[in-house]
A and B are shown apart, each in its own frame.
Chain A
């Protein structure tokens, strides 16, 4: 074997181990970069013509022709990626729902001394106080103010829920921009990866970035994806193409005709609705279109029943000044329930009396006892029970969403840990590789020295006989 081949082998080894050192350095540098997959140099022994050493030269009884650092590959488990993306979708979905419901709970602020339930209790109690002293202007004044406190508490709860719903709508609208930005970048990465890998190189860092974007996209909405032969990925959002090759389909928020005041997301090109079964968007939509309208409807039912039942009795009674037929509450629902301004201006007009006598409070007593009576329009439960059930059902829904968010969070952490276990960087490992490559580099250099000395013997010290 020619010495020059040995030199060539040693130089290949120098290059290969230098590359290994570079890769270790890159890995160490990115030990904490999100989405980074550690990279490995694939070292491969080569035959003289660059073919696989084992196929021919081994049988010829020759050593091979050194090492080839054929490829730098990232270490990644694509199935784990798939699982992680499924679970972060449900985590984000339930977290968004739990967040919205938790905020909705604050609108009622119960159980507490400041909640709607205590305003309701004070209202009924104020009627009892009027029963105790129907002649007293003070008791009547206290009643109308207590009633106005209750009404404003209901209005505030409605306002809070309405504002929350608008806020959720805003977030839905913003999700469109988020999806577009990520889809656009994936399309651009598709192009870059395709170009790089066309030459047989590996676009490792670009792929890491693309995988990170797919993770982020899965957090927003349910996606499915598949890598194509040309190294690009096709991404579907619901059943609709989002990224195809180097192009993406823009998503936009448009007013939803079937849902007044709210927006829906559609694909700009064909106007098709964006459908998603998981992700933050699903959670936002569930809260905006189901949980909150349901709560608002219940609050409206409560307010309307309160107005109807109290008014029905109040209209039949008489005030201290003989006035009769007056409504106690005005308004159409939870949004605008209020105490009749006439009564607020003159509490003597509160129709506590059934007979017209100043000391009679039969109507006030009947209204006070509405507290405990079953009301048909509330589904044959009392006001107190209806409200308590509203609060506890909301609490249970919130707790359930929080529980689901937590359990998917645990699953995500577990899968993330597994993914990290495969793709993450371990500094000790890299340092070990670094040391090994360093030693191999030194040894290869020593080979060059050895061959150099052999050449020295051959050139400078051979054939000097007779000189």
Chain B
């Protein structure tokens, strides 16, 4: 092929441009650490990357859901622990009151303490987390129990039986709340009756039957705590699973999107060598002319 001046010029320009383009691309990748900037850089990889990114964002949200759910349940658990303690104290007092050795004055003192403990238990049942009364079902803007009279003559449940359900994984939804009416049942009615019996000076034999009612209350709270514990375990398992999934997705995303630094640096230096070689070759070729050899 006959080689002409402008051919040589355009060829040189093209070679240099090709190398410079590659070099520029490698430098860009090294600067921002990403293989694909736009979907057209690699449509298949971009589709996969979008999929992974979505998964990562979703898993992050699942962990938010789980973690805030666990926080809610931890508060619930603390409240129930308080309720257990309170009921156990009431049980101790009831056992004392059921013995014949106590004087009416002693019974009256116990009645007063039971009354305080009832008020304390109401406070526990009306525990708030954020803006929500945790035992009110979904009617979380109202306290779970309303107290009538002072001393209380009636303590009524004001919530509903709704569950606060959230998504904790792709497949699973789970409630985080325990409904107050189910946790406490007839506890407050029983305790008010007990207090009234104590203050009215009822005989020990009349107090004894209340023990089984208190035991039933304790059982309800304990089984609620057991269920809560199981739920927290389930949430924690889901959290772990989500973390594993996230790690995998992050790794997959990185493989698709991120630049392999070692590779890129090797490529950069080989492209720099190529550019230098091309410049050298062009410089030498450009200086080769017949004119140098004519006198």
Which residues of A come within 8 Å of B, CB atoms? 31-32, 34, 38, 101-102, 105-106, 108, 110-111, 117-118, 121-122, 124-125, 128-129, 131-137, 320, 353, 355, 357-362, 365, 368-369, 371-372, 384, 388-389, 391-392, 394-396, 398-399, 402, 413, 416-418, 420-428, 431-432, 435
Given contacts A105-B40, A391-B46, contact A365 B166 (CB under 8 A): yes
Given contacts A132-B166, A420-B7, contact A124 B39 (CB under 8 A): no
CB of B173 within 8 A of CB of A398, answer: no
Q: Mask for B124-145, Cβ within 8 A of A = 1, else 0?
A: 0000001110001111110000
Q: Quick one: which of A38, A133, A394, A418 has the most chain B CB within 10 A?
A: A133
> For the complex, is B9 an interface residue (Cβ under 8 Å from A)?
yes
Hey, which chain B residues are within 8 Å of A34, CB to CB? Answer: 6
CB of B167 within 8 A of CB of A136, answer: no
Q: A112 CA to B173 CA in the complex, in Å?
A: 30
Hey, which chain A residues are within 8 Å of B49, CB to CB? Answer: 111
Within the complex, what minimum Cβ distance (angstroms) separates B280 from chain A? 21
Nearest-CB residue, chain A, relative to B61? A125
Hey, which chain B residues are within 8 Å of A435, CB to CB? Answer: 294
CB of A391 within 8 A of CB of B132, answer: no
Q: For chain B, residues 30 to 51, give those with C-beta under 8 angstroms from any C-beta of chain A.
A: 36, 38-44, 46-47, 49-51
Which of the residues B42, B47, B50, B137 comes within 8 Å of A357, measured between beta carbons? B137
> For the complex, is B105 an interface residue (Cβ under 8 Å from A)?
no
Which of the residues B38, B130, B140 comes within 8 Å of A105, measured between beta carbons? B38
Hey, which chain A residues are within 8 Å of B257, CB to CB? Answer: 111
Within the complex, what minimum Cβ distance (angstroms) separates B258 from chain A? 12
Nearest-CB residue, chain B, relative to A75? B2
> For the complex, is B10 an interface residue (Cβ under 8 Å from A)?
yes
Q: A371 CA to B130 CA in the complex, in Å?
A: 27
Hey, which chain B residues are within 8 Å of A360, CB to CB? Answer: 138, 162, 164
Given contacts A362-B165, A399-B40, contact A388 B160 (CB under 8 A): no
Q: A99 CA to B166 CA in the complex, in Å?
A: 46
Q: A424 CA to B4 CA in the complex, in Å?
A: 5
Hey, which chain B residues are within 8 Å of A132, CB to CB? Answer: 64-65, 68-69, 166
Hey, which chain B residues are within 8 Å of A392, CB to CB? Answer: 39, 43-44, 46-47, 50
Segment touching A, from B52-60, B108-116, B212-220: B52-60
CB of A129 within 8 A of CB of B64, answer: yes
Hey, which chain A residues are within 8 Å of B101, CB to CB? Answer: none
Q: A34 CA to B168 CA in the complex, in Å?
A: 69
Which of the residues B2, B68, B162 comes within 8 Å of A355, measured between beta carbons? B162
CB of A395 within 8 A of CB of B38, answer: yes
Q: Quick one: which of B6, B46, B69 has the most chain A CB within 10 A?
A: B6
CB of A121 within 8 A of CB of B289, answer: no
Nearest-CB residue, chain B, relative to A427? B5
CB of A426 within 8 A of CB of B2, answer: yes
Which of the residues A32, A101, A368 comes within 8 Å of B167, measured between beta carbons? A368
Q: A443 CA to B33 CA in the complex, in Å?
A: 71
> For the complex, is B284 an interface residue (Cβ under 8 Å from A)?
no
> For the complex, is B103 an interface residue (Cβ under 8 Å from A)?
no
Q: A31 CA to B140 CA in the complex, in Å?
A: 88
Nearest-CB residue, chain A, relative to B11? A417
Which of the residues B44, B58, B69, B290 comes within 8 Å of A121, measured between beta carbons? B58
Given contacts A125-B61, A135-B132, A359-B162, contact A388 B51 (CB under 8 A): yes
Which 9 A-B pairs give the minimum distances between C-beta atoms?
A: A395-B39, A424-B4, A359-B140, A398-B40, A121-B57, A359-B138, A357-B138, A135-B131, A360-B138
Within the complex, what minimum Cβ distance (angstroms) separates B246 from chain A? 14
CB of A416 within 8 A of CB of B10, answer: yes
Which of the residues B10, B61, B136, B141 comes within 8 Å of A413, measured between beta carbons? B10
Hey, which chain B residues are within 8 Å of A359, CB to CB? Answer: 132, 136-141, 162, 164, 177
Q: A163 CA to B170 CA in the complex, in Å?
A: 39
Within the complex, what minimum Cβ distance (angstroms) separates A219 from chain B? 16
Q: A129 CA to B39 CA in the complex, in Å?
A: 31
Q: Mask for B160-182, Cβ within 8 A of A = 1, else 0?
A: 10101111001001000100000
Can you offer 14 A-B residue contacts whose CB atoms are under 8 A?
Answer: A111-B46, A131-B165, A132-B65, A132-B68, A365-B173, A396-B43, A399-B41, A399-B43, A402-B40, A417-B11, A421-B4, A424-B2, A426-B3, A427-B289
